[in-house]
A = this chain, B = another copy of it.
C-alpha cells in the first residue's frame, strides 16, 4: 500500500503523510488538496485496502489469532479466553490455524496485516525457527503478543508459563517419591516450551545427582495419543529399569498409560507417570494422571488484555512497553504417581 501512496505523493509533489491524511479526509488538509488527492488516487487506480479499516477511528476492532491447532484442549481453552475478553471490549477475533507449519504461519501473518487487523495474537508453529515475519509485524507497528509457544529472542509482549520451572518441579516430584531412572517424552526440537520442559527435567536430575542419560529422552513429533502408545511400548523394550516418566503433554501421557494398562505394566507401582497441561481427561482416565496445570483460559484472557492495552497506547501515540507475563502453574497430584 505504501508504494501506491508514495506514487500519489510523487505525482503531486506532496508528502506521503499528506496523501494519507487527505484520503482519510482529515480536516487539517485543505479541501482543495483532499480533492486533488482523491482525483489522483482515482486516476492512478489506487485501491485503499478498506477491509478492516473503519474510516472514523482507523481501527478495525478486529484482531487476528494464529494458533497451531484448534482441536486441542489447551488451545481451544486459550481461544475461548481470548474471545471472551475480546467480546467485552467489542473486538472480533479472526482465527487461523497454522497446522504447525512455518510457511503457512508466514502467509497468515501477511494476510492479517493486509486485512488491517488492530493486533495479532500468536502461538508459534513447531516448524517456526525464523522470526522475521514476526519482527516485521513489530516494525510495522502492529501490536503483537505471543503466548505459549514464543520466540525468546523477539522483542514483544509474551504470555507464558515458566515451562522449565514447571518441568523441574514435576521431575523433582518423581525423584522425591523414589524414582531413580526417569525417562522424558519431549516435544519437537524447535518450540521453546518443549526445549524448556526438557531443560527443567535435565536440571532436576543433575541437581539431585542422578546421571542424565540421553537415551531416556524420546523425541516426539505430533504429540498424539498414538505416539504416547508407541513410545511407551518402545520404552518398555529399550529400558526395563525405568521407574518414572515425565511426559511433555497429557494426551501423550494418556496414550502411554493406556499402553501400560494394555501391557499389564502397573502405574504407578512399576512406572510413575507425570503429564503436562491438566487436560480435564487427566482426572478421568484410570489411573488418573498427575500433571502440571497449564492455565489456558487465563492465558488467552491475559494475552488479549495486553494486546488491547498496546492497541490503545499505540492509538494515543504512547510508547509501548513490552510485558512478559509468566502465569503460575502447579502440580496436580493424582494416582499415576506413588505420592
Contact = CB atoms under 8 A, between A and B. Distances in A.
A207 to B, nearest CB: 35
A84 B71 contact: no
Contact of A42 (B25, B87, B96): B25
Given A50-B55, A51-B54, A284-B225, A80 B73 contact: no
A183 B72 CA distance: 32
Interface in A56-110: 56, 60-62, 70-73, 76-77, 79-80, 83-84, 87, 92-97
Contacts of A53: 50-51
A80 B75 CA distance: 12
Interface in A34-59: 34-35, 38-39, 42, 47-56
Given A55-B47, A96-B92, A115-B92, A77 B71 contact: yes
Nearest to A94: B92
Interface string A279-304: 01100111000000000000000000
A159 interface: no
Contacts of A49: 54
A95 B96 contact: no
Nearest to A262: B286
Contacts of A38: 38
B95 A87 contact: no
Q: Which of A76, A93, A111 has the most CB of B within 10 A?
A: A76
Given A80-B97, A95-B95, 17 more contacts: A47-B55, A47-B56, A50-B51, A50-B55, A51-B54, A70-B80, A70-B83, A71-B79, A76-B76, A83-B95, A83-B96, A87-B96, A92-B111, A93-B94, A94-B94, A261-B286, A281-B281
Interface of A: 25, 34-35, 38-39, 42, 47-56, 60-62, 70-73, 76-77, 79-80, 83-84, 87, 92-97, 111, 115, 225, 254-255, 258, 261, 280-281, 284-286
